């Protein structure tokens, strides 16, 4: 038996491969069982990439359910508040192709404002708010805690007197940052910091003088 195999080159190769495959298969199976991760970290990681506005525009009641749906194979382009950056981050994480956003992208982050004079105190918006960002009691004026509002606009529809506006989120001085320069071959923006060409010339002169001295 052994001699037959040893004499027959092709047979020897096949046997060797089968043995190897079986061995490594067993090893992989054992490792998969032994080091299995409890829970489902992929959902956590997807959830971490979503903007957590809890707006439901994806058709799921909140970001976490959408994260679970993505893990089950749903499209990654259903999150308008996240926009292209979120789609790219998800594509990167899951190894899928990025797709154009399904729906209209939001231009700038928004927050809800209640025109307090018109509010009748019906508490409908309070029940709709997914992050408890609206303060008020029945028959008393309500107001939005701006810092907590995610701009999901779920409170706009339930309002019976249409006293809720979505306005751009106020930006503080600290949030401003420099824009990226235009890139090679293009004229630089006026705001960008100027190199001093004449200074450069002078310093080169000085340097060569030093070199000469």
202 lines the binding site for another protein (CB under 8 A): yes
183 lines the binding site for another protein (CB under 8 A): yes
* Cβ atoms of 149 and 170 closer than 8 Å: no
Which member of 62, 83, 98, 158 binds another protein (CB under 8 A)? Answer: 62
Q: Is the CB of 138 or the CB of 173 nearer to another protein?
A: 173
Which member of 1, 10, 186, 213 binds another protein (CB under 8 A)? Answer: 186
Collect all residues with Cβ–Cβ distance below 8 Å to 131 and sequence separation of at least 6.
54, 148, 149, 150
User: Segment contacting another protein (CB under 8 A): 3-11, 96-104, 110-118, 199-207?
Assistant: 199-207
User: Segment contacting another protein (CB under 8 A): 3-11, 44-52, 113-121, 134-142?
Assistant: 44-52
* Cβ atoms of 114 and 162 closer than 8 Å: no
Task: Please give the span between the terminal C-alpha atoms of the chain, in angstroms, as a whole number.
Answer: 90
Q: In the complex, what is the shortest distance from the CB of residue 140 to another protein, in angstroms, rounded to a whole number?
A: 21
Q: Is the CB of 72 or the CB of 180 nearer to another protein?
A: 180
CA angle 193, 109, 93 (to 5 degrees): 85
209 lines the binding site for another protein (CB under 8 A): no
Q: In the complex, what is the shortest distance from the CB of residue 108 to another protein, in angstroms, rounded to a whole number?
A: 12
Q: Is the CB of 64 or the CB of 124 nearer to another protein?
A: 64
User: Segment contacting another protein (CB under 8 A): 16-24, 34-42, 98-106, 154-162?
Assistant: 34-42
* Cβ atoms of 109 and 169 closer than 8 Å: yes
**165: β partners:** 113
Q: In angstroms, rounded to a whole number, what is the distance separating the alpha carbons of residues 193 and 172?
A: 23
Residue spans of beta strands (DSSP E) within the chain: 110-114, 134-135, 143-144, 164-168
172 lines the binding site for another protein (CB under 8 A): yes
CA angle 81, 118, 156 (to 5 degrees): 20
Binding interface with another protein (CB under 8 A): 38-39, 41, 44-45, 47-54, 62-64, 130-133, 148, 150, 172-173, 175-188, 190-200, 202-203, 206-207
């Amino acid at each position: 038996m052994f001699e037959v195999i040893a004499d027959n080159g092709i047979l020897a190769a096949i046997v060797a491969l089968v043995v190897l495959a079986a061995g490594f298969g067993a090893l992989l199976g054992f490792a998969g069982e032994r080091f299995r991760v409890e829970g489902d970290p992929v959902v956590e990681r997807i959830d971490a990439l979503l903007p957590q506005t809890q707006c439901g525009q994806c058709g799921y009641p909140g970001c976490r359910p959408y994260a679970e749906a993505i893990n089950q194979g749903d499209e990654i382009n259903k999150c308008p508040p996240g926009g292209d950056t979120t789609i790219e981050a998800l594509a990167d994480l899951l190894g899928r192709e990025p797709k154009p956003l399904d729906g209209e992208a939001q231009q700038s982050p928004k927050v809800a404002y209640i025109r307090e004079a018109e509010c009748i105190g019906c508490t409908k918006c309070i029940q709709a708010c997914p992050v408890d960002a609206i303060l008020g009691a029945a028959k008393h004026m309500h107001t939005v805690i701006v810092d907590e509002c995610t701009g999901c606009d779920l409170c706009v529809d339930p309002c019976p007197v249409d006293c809720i506006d979505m306005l751009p989120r106020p930006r503080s001085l600290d949030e401003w940052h420099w824009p990226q320069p235009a890139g090679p071959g293009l004229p630089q923006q006026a705001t960008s910091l100027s190199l001093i060409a004449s200074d450069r010339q002078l310093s080169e002169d000085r340097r060569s003088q030093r070199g000469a001295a």
